[in-house]
Amino acid sequence: MINLFLDRHEFLFAVEGFARGSHLRQHVWGEIVYRSIPQMSDDDMDYFWFYMRRDIFKQYFYELNGKKNTHVGYEDFMHALAALHRGNRYKITFRSEADNTLHNALCYRFDGEYYPLYLYIDGKTKKSSELQSFNTVVPNEWIKAVVKQKTPENRHVELGREEWWNDLEIYDNFKTKLL
How far is 117 from 134, CA to CA, in rounded Å?
8
How far is 45 from 37, CA to CA, in rounded Å?
7
Residue 137 CB contacts under 8 Å (≥ 6 apart), including other chains? 113, 114, 115
Residue 23 is predicted with a pLDDT of 67
Quick: pLDDT tens for 90-147: 999 999 888 888 999 999 999 999 999 999 876 555 666 789 999 999 999 999 999 9
Widest CA span of the chain, in angstroms?
Answer: 55
Nearest to 32 by CA among 12, 54, 53: 12
Cα 22 off chain centre by? 21
When pLDDT is averaged across residues 63-75 and rounded to a whole number, the result is: 88
The answer, yes or no, to whether residue 24 has pLDDT greater than 70, is no
Backbone angles phi, psi at 134, to 5 degrees: -55, -30
Query: Coil, helix or strand for 20?
Result: helix
Higher pLDDT, 177 or 10: 10
How far is 3 from 162, CA to CA, in rounded Å?
35
